[in-house]
Chains A and B, each alone.
Chain A
Amino acid sequence: MASRTSFSVAGTLRYAAIILYVLFALFPIYWLVKIAITPDRLIYTEGTHIWPSTFTLDNFTSVLFLTDFLVYFKNSMIVSLGTAFFTTLVATAAGYAFSRFHFRGKAIIIALMLITQMFPLLMIIAPIYKIMAGLRLLDSLTGLIIVYTAFNVPFATFLMQGFFDGIPKDLEEAAMIDGCTRFEALRKVIFPLTLPGLAATLGFIFTAAWSELLFALMLINSDDKMTFPVGLKTFVSKFAVDWGQMMAAGTLALIPSCIFFILIQRFLVQGLTAGAVKG
């Protein structure tokens, strides 16, 4: 056993390392909020101070009421919620099929889904643009929802399959012996049990759609259809010196992701550990 002194030295080092990690993780976020609440007139004099001498919420009110922020926010909400909903719906059905059935072509379909996860998505940005132009779905939130849903279905399917694999199949067999059709058994017995899994999938897809930038830049061009990343990017290139407002907009954009993250982060490691044991 280590002696008491070396134990406490090691312990101090461990705590020092942990504090460094926490500072590194939080500092950029702190800085974002700090500039956002620094009054404009002080930015050039105290922009680089660690702590502002006074603070203001003016930047937040001007972002909310004088810019298109709320439009971008609304568009991103529509696209992310739509994508999360449709992806989860499609992926639940597919994940259920993978989990409960053995059928011809299963291996091929799984392989095709894996391929979609391997190639650079940017590879299809040009064809998607042309196809969307042909379907008149350019510059439309519907088009964006369709594209994002397809991008996210393979991953969400594997996720949902994992959740279904964790539910004993005797449960729906018992229900089917009691006279339910498979779909009824799925709806009444299995569905309530997968609610946590569904929530996790919805959350993951929501954040993925909320963060997507490049396809949105390519497919959307009018101001009133821009999603948050595109809007913020445009905002930054247009008003490149209005630091306070940009950072206030950034801070506001962070809120939905952070809320979601705080809700799920406890389950992340647990879920992955379970997966590692199984695999």
Chain B
Amino acid sequence: MTMALPTSPGKGRGRPLKKLHWLVEPYLYLSPAIILIALVMLVPLVVGISYAFQSISLLNPFETGWVGFANFEKLWADRLFWKALTNTFWWTLGSLFFQFFLGLGLALLLNRPFAGRGLVQALVFLPWAVPAFLSGLNWAWLFNPIIGPIPHWLAAIGIMDEPQNILANPKMALWGPIVANIWFGIPFFAITLLAALQSIPRDLYEAASIDGASVWQSFTKITVPFLAPTIAITVMLRTIWIANFADLIYIMTGGGPANSTHIISSYIFTTAFRRLDFAYASTLAIALLVLLLAYAMLILQMRKHLVKGI
């Protein structure tokens, strides 16, 4: 991150009042942000962590109090948690894999000029502007055999015996939100990677082509090394974001059928919102946080090696 150098207040002008003003001034500009973030995010975060060690359920108001690690023991024994954990893994991996490779392909296509590129870019990035709840509803409708075409297509090419709603099939339902998420997320990767591609100096490619490098060689020897640091960071942030992203699943399946599509974050939301069991929701949230932190540290370590390797 670039940091601005200090704007010194005119050296030797040091009258005490001015000096005090100089010291206080940045905090004046910052105080609304600090107060707001502290009260609405940091305090609730600490409170939320403390919930995991208590019993707080609005449906059982008389059974409150500190319970030590009881919630975590419950978590360990909760089959739905392990199911949601597995689903979180497949949901994140499936969404990320296709978002990334399709996004990279799109960025490479858009990086070379062609007639109508401006219009194409506006059109292919459009899904990103669709609010998540609407993407979810829209795809749930597309998967519905009464009004949506997808089940009929799947039946026509023989994947299904007859047009059915995959969202109602416990074995396949998770693919519904994954497809919606891929659709929604390709533009993000395409935009970020396109920006990174455009910052690669053109002369490198020219030099490589003069030296007789093939297109594939320029891609692997110039494009990939230049993109690698951006890719590592983007993939890390995206993974965390996708793992936390409960909207599509909540809208499209609500975690069903028969709890087969809950990921941890949608399970957290249902536990807090439907069952009003705040303690267990916080316990689940801590489990997710620990997993994501471990993941982020792993990726940052890998990125260090990557950057060193160049």
Contacts and interface: CB of A to CB of B under 8 A. Distances in A.
Asked if A and B are interacting partners, one says yes
A103 B148 contact: no
Interface stretch (A53-61, A62-70, A149-157, A188-196): A149-157
27 contacts: A21-B105, A25-B126, A26-B126, A29-B126, A29-B138, A47-B146, A47-B148, A90-B32, A90-B33, A90-B36, A109-B34, A120-B265, A120-B268, A123-B286, A124-B41, A124-B44, A130-B278, A149-B36, A150-B37, A153-B36, A207-B129, A217-B273, A229-B131, A229-B134, A268-B191, A269-B194, A269-B195
Contacts of A91: 33
Contacts of A210: 131
Contacts of A153: 33, 36-37
B40 A103 contact: no
A254 B149 contact: no
A101 B138 CA distance: 47
A187 interface: no
Interface residues of A, number: 98
Which secondary structure characterizes the binding site on chain A? helix
Nearest to A27: B142
B147 A28 contact: no
Interface in A232-254: 232-233, 236, 243, 246-247, 250, 253-254
Given A126-B48, A128-B40, A151-B41, A29 B29 contact: no
B147 A261 contact: no
B55 interface: no
Which secondary structure characterizes the binding site on chain B? helix
Contact of B26 (A17, A43, A97): A97
Nearest to A270: B195
Interface in A142-190: 146-147, 149-151, 153-154, 157, 164-165, 169, 173, 182
A195 to B, nearest CB: 19
Interface centre among A157, A207, A247, A276 (most CB of B within 10 A): A276
Given A214-B269, A261-B129, A273-B195, A119 B289 contact: yes
Interface stretch (B1-9, B65-73, B74-82, B216-224): B1-9
B183 A258 contact: no
Contacts of B112: 14
Interface of A: 14-15, 17-18, 21-22, 24-26, 28-29, 31-32, 35, 43-44, 47-48, 50, 89-91, 93-94, 96-103, 106, 109, 112-113, 115-116, 118-131, 146-147, 149-151, 153-154, 157, 164-165, 169, 173, 182, 207, 210-211, 213-214, 217-218, 229, 232-233, 236, 243, 246-247, 250, 253-254, 257-258, 260-262, 265-266, 268-269, 272-273, 275-279
B40 A151 contact: yes
Contacts of A150: 36-37, 39-41
Interface in B4-32: 4-7, 23, 25-27, 29-30, 32
A98 B268 CA distance: 35
A18 B272 contact: no
A207 B137 CA distance: 18
Interface in B118-135: 118, 120-135
Interface of B: 1-2, 4-7, 23, 25-27, 29-30, 32-34, 36-37, 39-45, 47-48, 51, 56, 102, 105-106, 109, 112, 114, 118, 120-135, 137-139, 141-142, 145-149, 152, 183, 186-187, 191-192, 194-196, 198-199, 230, 240, 243-244, 246-247, 250-251, 265, 268-269, 272-273, 278, 281-282, 285-286, 288-289, 292-293, 296
A208 B135 CA distance: 14
Contacts of B268: 120, 122-123, 125
A91 B34 CA distance: 10
Contact of B33 (A44, A93, A128, A131): A93
A214 B247 contact: yes
A21 B126 contact: no
A191 to B, nearest CB: 13
